[in-house]
Amino acid sequence: MAQSAKRVVLVSRPHGEPKPSDFRIEDCAIPTPGNGEVLLRTIWLSLDPYMRGRMSEGPSYAAPVPIGGVMEGGTVCEVMASNNPAFAKGDIVLARAGWQTHLISDGKGLAKIDPKLGPISTAVGVLGMPGMTAYTGLLDIGKPQPGETVVVAAASGAVGSAVGQIARIKGARAVGIAGGREKCDYVKRELGFDDCIDHRDPNLAARLKEACPKGIDVYFENVGGAVFEAVFPLLNAFARIPVCGLIAQYNDTEASVPKWASSMMRNVLTKRLTIRGFIVSDFAARHGDFLRDMSQWVRDGKVRHREFITEGLDSAPAAFIGLLKGANFGKQLVRVGPDKG
């Protein structure tokens, strides 16, 4: 056991790409646990792209790390001393100790790791947050069907590698995007993706099209930027796009995609927006429900409506041209012939 502790604090908010000088490594004494507390020693610190967001001020889904504060992060820790009956010396726990060697905890938020599930490091990897991000985003939002095509970037990474493999388990075609030939080979040969494309390829869009001859049904968005632009034209009707990250944009000071679109996608992520196109016939099965409820609401006066009528078929072009300008006031109708009776 080390005789002193160490921690990494944030000393300045990065402008664009973080620099080593944005961090300071500090030595400190190993703290002593008080009543009900445990002393943890960090074995594994997970580094994940979301941390870039914690370094910046501005709206996100979590507060930023304060200047001078220890960088946040998920960790696998060993309990070195315990004054808390829920934990014993030697327990291995999942914690958010952050970028430091030691931590005092009151036990809240700690979870014992079951070593029977896999090596303890997997608790912050394939069996931890990154794996669960892949699992829920793909299955609960992406909902890949057998024979569909799933595309994911950062395909050799913690999230992307799980996304493609789960897609294959569900019978879908998995196409990865990764940086460089070695990663692409790994993704295809070791992970069993159907194809993997180097995002540095100057013909990225054309290569992606070749790899997705039936278009793209699920795009698991974790990078943004140029990959999204290559993916977009290939999306099929009813495609689903879970958005869990935009790593290619995290360091952006000037957006590489148009500012408005980049800001839009950041908001989709941080606010967990759902943007979904539809036309009414997609919901044909709901017609009975609709007619039952709406006719009742109209009868009860709970839904009122107004008709804006132009007379005679000849009026249709002008009425329609007006409709696009908002010249109508209520439901635009053309009375083509006399009403019956």
Q: Which of residues 252-271 bind its own copies (CB under 8 A)?
A: 257-261, 264, 267-271
> Among positive and negative, which fits the CA dihedral 131, 134, 140, 143?
negative
Nearer to its own copies, 83 or 256 (CB): 256
In the complex, the smallest distance separating the C-beta of residue 290 from its own copies, rounded to whole angstroms, is 5
Long-range contacts of 152-155 (CB under 8 A, 24+ apart): 152/176, 152/177, 152/219, 152/220, 152/222, 153/177, 153/178, 153/199, 153/220, 153/221, 153/222, 153/223, 153/227, 154/178, 154/222, 154/223, 154/247, 155/183, 155/187, 155/191, 155/193, 155/196
Q: Does residue 23 bind its own copies (CB under 8 A)?
A: yes
Nearer to its own copies, 35 or 284 (CB): 284
> Is residue 86 helix, strand or coil?
coil
Nearer to its own copies, 35 or 260 (CB): 260
Q: Does residue 303 bind its own copies (CB under 8 A)?
A: yes
Looking up tokens 């996100």, which residue turns up? Answer: 60
Q: Which of residues 59-88 bind its own copies (CB under 8 A)?
A: 61, 71, 75, 78
> Is residue 339 helix, strand or coil?
coil
Q: Does residue 295 bind its own copies (CB under 8 A)?
A: yes
Q: Does residue 15 bind its own copies (CB under 8 A)?
A: no
Q: Which of residues 221-240 bind its own copies (CB under 8 A)?
A: 229, 232, 235-240
Nearer to its own copies, 167 or 175 (CB): 167
- Cα–chain center distance at 29: 38
Site map for its own copies, 133-172, x if CB under 8 A? x-xxx--xx------------x-xxx--xx--xx--x---
Q: Which of residues 83-112 bind its own copies (CB under 8 A)?
A: 90, 92, 99-101
> Is residue 8 helix, strand or coil?
strand
